[in-house]
Amino acid sequence: MKDLRRQKVSFAATALGLGLLFAIVLAMGGIYRGLVEDATLLVDHMGADIWVVQRDTRGPFAERSTVPPGLEDRLRAQKGIASARSFSTATIQRIVGTRSLRMTVVGLSWPEDKGQALPLVAGRALRDPHREVVVDRSLGLVLGQILSLGDESFKVVGLTKGMLSSGGDGLVFATELDARAILNWQAPEARRVEREGRLARLGGTDLDSVSNQDRLRDERFIPPTLAPAPANAILVSLRPGASIDEVLRGLEAWPDVTAYTAQEQRDLLLKGVVEKSRKQIGLFRALLSIVSGIVVTLILYNMTVAKTHDIALLKLLGARSSVVVKLVLNQGLLLGALGYSFAILLAKFLFPLFPRRVMLGTAEYLGVGLLVLLLVTLASVAGIVRALRIPPTLILAG
Amino acid sequence: MEAVRAENLYKTYGHGATEVKALLGVSMVAHAGEVVALLGPSGSGKSTLLTGLGLLNPPEKGTIDLMGERVLEDGKAFGDLAALRRSRIGFVFQKSNLIPFLSAHENVRLILALNDQLGAETYTRSQELLEYLGVGNRSQHFPEELSGGEQQRVAIARALAPAPPLILADEPTAALDSTRGRAVMELFRKVAREQGTAVVVVTHDHRTLDIFDTVYEMEDGVLSRAEQTA
Ligand SMILES: Nc1ncnc2c1ncn2[C@@H]1O[C@H](COP(=O)(O)OP(=O)(O)OP(=O)(O)O)[C@@H](O)[C@H]1O
Ligand SMILES: [Mg+2]
């Protein structure tokens, strides 16, 4: 009926509290979606039709995969395949300045992919095949900054927004060769030890000769019997009109690789890499919804109990049951609406500060909105049952 | 015109060892324009009778007619009691009469709203009633900002708002000093005379009995007409 003027402050405070609760439910939904989005972002961005990885692995994201050198060329020779490019990625953690920075290095296949399709917010795509990187701004690096990775220094030439790995680490885009150099870099001492090892191994073979030994001692010499640093996967694009099933069937016969469609690769990430976090968040969200339901019910029930006298008076004066029902329902809906508004406000201003992406679309807002509506309506029922049981003669007893 | 007629009312509370017979064959009449007093010691059943007449607490035996129309017979209701309450009966009680978070004006308008009167004329009607009862200048105040006497005047204004044929008041002056109490009782008489309403008032105050047209006395659930003192 009339309003809640007197309890304005406590009502608002209650709504604010509920708003916080709803905001967390909202955040959980957003984090869930953000997780899925982050996980599949790179797969989507690379835009390959087929991902060819090491035989029987679920690489290159879910697990480590290395593919034999020359695989690109073998693939390019296949019918229906327009292009094949090598792809390397791995997450590294390095000290930059005083900060320990976790970043996921991604190789772009120069020269077709210079990063021009990346969502740049500052700077430019790669222009030089070496010593340039485009990094995600979440890493906190600035344009022109020099990153020392391994023996080389890389200049930050572009900043992207929202390019994160499935682990939530900022992406660093370099050319494929640079990426492999970064990822496979070894300290000089490690290389010295490796050379010693090669010499020792050479000693056990009939390749051993003074000249070979000399050559192996040379730091710049890479013996032809040793493979160059391997890529993690080969990205295949099909010719227009080519049948993906046919190409996949052809690749099935290859003994050294396994091929996935882009969708299969996404599923590997969702079912493998982020599966547990996803389930955990989903579960937490369900639990939180139940808790919200209980809290809302208790609040509305108590608000109704606090109005016992007024409700009894209304009934005594001959108010219809519908008036009493509306009174309780309105208070519930108002509380829900206020709480939800607070939640949206919080979402707008607070969530961007979260360390991981909170992705909220219409579906999330609508979903939580409906949930709130459902909760307050159900909770109001408890209040309504109570209100209808209040005897009007209660007024006379007081 | 008989505003209310009660015949042979019986009301028993509880059962077994805790059984209390509150009304034992009570009959009474209140006419339009008449002020009726209900006297009697504590626990004699005055409130029980009043809430019976008010259709809040129907007696299990006997009949109640409102404006010549049968509304209760042996505990059985004829029509919607809540609807009868909001349109035919005005209530005034000792205290906690008003909704605390509504202004005096809104408290009066509330009963009109309950009767589905929502138009602009309800504003004027409420204001007129408050002025009629001498609290027109208090219409925007909340109950807690009003004195006890003013609160009762607002309550009477509310009781009058739907122009009911019957007003029931249970010890409306118990919380007031004798001067203010008497003033309120005189208001009831004024209302009865000028609006043609029957007013039944439960009271303990023998000094105001001269105001009433009829005085009933209740004793252990039995009602009898008392000698007129005025
Ligand atoms: N809800 C109830 N349950 C059980 N017994 C009740 C109830 N209401 C009243 N009674 C009993 O019925 C009898 C009459 O009560 P009632 O309230 O009508 O008396 P009263 O004349 O109004 O008294 P008072 O002057 O104290 O207000 C009392 O013995 C009382 O204890
Ligand atoms: Mg009483």
Q: Can you tell me the distance from the alpha carbon of A147 to that of A153, in angstroms, rounded to the nearest whole number?
A: 5
Task: Looking at the complex, report in whole angstroms how far the Cα of residue B230 sits from the nearest Cα belonging to chain A.
Answer: 30
Find the A36 Cα to ligand 1 centroid distance in Å: 69
Please give the distance of CA A74 from its chain centroid, rounded to a whole number: 34
Mutational test site, ligand 1, from B10, B13, B24, B200, max ligand atoms within 8 Å of CB: B13
Which candidate in A1, A2, A323 is best for mutational testing of the B interface (most B CBs within 10 A)?
A: A2
pLDDT of residue B211: 92
Residues A35-69: tens digit of each pLDDT: 888 888 888 888 889 999 998 888 788 888 888 88
pLDDT of residue A360: 82
Domain boundaries, chain B: 2-225
| Chains A & B: contacts with CB separation below 8 Å | 60
User: Into which CATH architecture does domain B2-225 fall?
Assistant: 3-Layer(aba) Sandwich (3.40)
Residues in B closer than 8 angstroms to A1, CB to CB, are 110, 113
Find the B211 Cα to ligand 1 centroid distance in Å: 26
Residues in B closer than 8 angstroms to A4, CB to CB, are 101
Cβ atoms within 10 Å of A382's Cβ, excluding its own = 17
DSSP labels, A117-172: TS-EEEE----SSSSEEEEEGGG---TTPEEEETTEEEEEEEEESS-B-TTSPEEE
Does residue A172 contact residue A105 with C-beta atoms inside 8 Å? yes
Mark yes or no for CB contact B106/A2 under 8 Å: yes
Q: Token match 């019918």: residue?
A: A79
Pocket of ligand 1 (CB under 6 A): B 13-14, 20, 22, 40, 42-48
Q: Token match 């900022």: residue?
A: A170
Q: What are the residues whose beta carbons fall under 8 Å from the beta carbon of A366, sequence distance 6 or more?
A: none
Sort B116 into a burial class: Cβ within 10 Å, 0-12 / 13-18 / 19+: exposed
Q: Give the CA radius of gyration of chain B.
A: 17
Tell me if chain B has a CB within 8 Å of the CB of A322.
Answer: no
Ligand 2 ion: Cβ-proximal residues, 5 Å cutoff = B 47
Give, for B154, the enclosing helix (H) or strand (E). Answer: helix B148-160
Q: Give the residue among A46, A21, A39 at the shortest CA–CA distance from A372.
A: A21
Mark yes or no for CB contact A398/B100 under 8 Å: no
Angle between helices B148-160 and B104-114 (to 10 degrees): 20
Cβ atoms within 10 Å of A280's Cβ, excluding its own = 11
Atom of ligand 1 nearest to the CA of A393: 1
Tell me if chain B has a CB within 8 Å of the CB of A317.
Answer: yes
Residues in A closer than 8 angstroms to B83, CB to CB, are 318, 320
Q: What is the mean pLDDT of each run of 10 residues along chain B (230 residues)?
A: 92 88 92 93 92 91 92 88 91 83 90 87 89 89 90 91 92 86 90 92 90 93 75
pLDDT of residue A154: 92
Q: Which residues of B150-183 are buried (b: 16+ CB within 10 A; e: fewer)?
A: bbbbbbbbbbbbbebbbbbbbbbbeebeeebbbb
Sort A148 into a burial class: Cβ within 10 Å, 0-12 / 13-18 / 19+: exposed
Residues in A closer than 8 angstroms to B95, CB to CB, are 398
Give the torsion sign (CA, A394, A397, B5, B8).
positive
pLDDT of residue B230: 47
pLDDT of residue A1: 46
Find the A396 Cα to ligand 2 centroid distance in Å: 8
Of all residues in chain B, what percent are helix, strand and coil, respectively (each to 5)?
35, 30, 35
Tell me if chain B has a CB within 8 Å of the CB of A394.
Answer: no
The residue type found at A43 is V
Please give the distance of CA B115 from its chain centroid, rounded to a whole number: 18
Q: Can you tell me the distance from the alpha carbon of B169 to that of B94, in angstroms, rounded to the nearest whole number?
A: 8
Q: List chain A residues with pLDDT less than 70.
A: 1-7, 206-208, 215-228, 397-398
Q: Which long-range contacts (CB under 8 A, 24 or more apart) does A5-11 make?
A: A5/B101, A6/B100, A6/B101, A7/B101, A11/A335, A11/A338
Cβ atoms within 10 Å of A133's Cβ, excluding its own = 27
Measured between CA atoms, the residue of chain A closest to residue B171 is A396
pLDDT of residue B16: 83
Q: Token match 């079912």: residue?
A: A271
pLDDT of residue A199: 73
Q: What are the residues whose beta carbons fall under 8 Å from the beta carbon of A305, sequence distance 6 or more?
A: A386
Interface list for chain B against chain A, based on CB atoms closer than 8 Å:
47, 51, 56-57, 82-87, 89, 91, 93, 95-97, 99-102, 106, 110-111, 113-114, 170
Give A36's Cβ-side CA count (13 Å radius): 13
Residues in B closer than 8 angstroms to A397, CB to CB, are none
| HEC secondary structure over A324-389 | HHHHHHHHHHHHHHHHHHHHHHHHHHHHHHCCCCCCCCHHHHHHHHHHHHHHHHHHHHHHHHHHHH
Q: What is the pTM of this model?
A: 0.74
Q: Token match 């208001």: residue?
A: B187
Atom of ligand 1 nearest to the CA of B46: 21
The beta-carbon neighbor of B101 closest among A5, A393, A398 is A5
Q: Can you tell me the distance from the alpha carbon of A155 to that of A20, in angstroms, rounded to the nearest whole number?
A: 43
pLDDT of residue A103: 92
- Interface predicted TM-score of the whole assembly (ipTM), two decimals: 0.89
> What Cα–Cα distance (Å) separates residue A55 from each residue in A89, A231, A235, A264, A297?
18, 14, 15, 15, 56
pLDDT of residue A227: 52
Which candidate in A1, A11, A316, A320 is best for mutational testing of the B interface (most B CBs within 10 A)?
A: A316
Atom of ligand 1 nearest to the CA of B204: 25
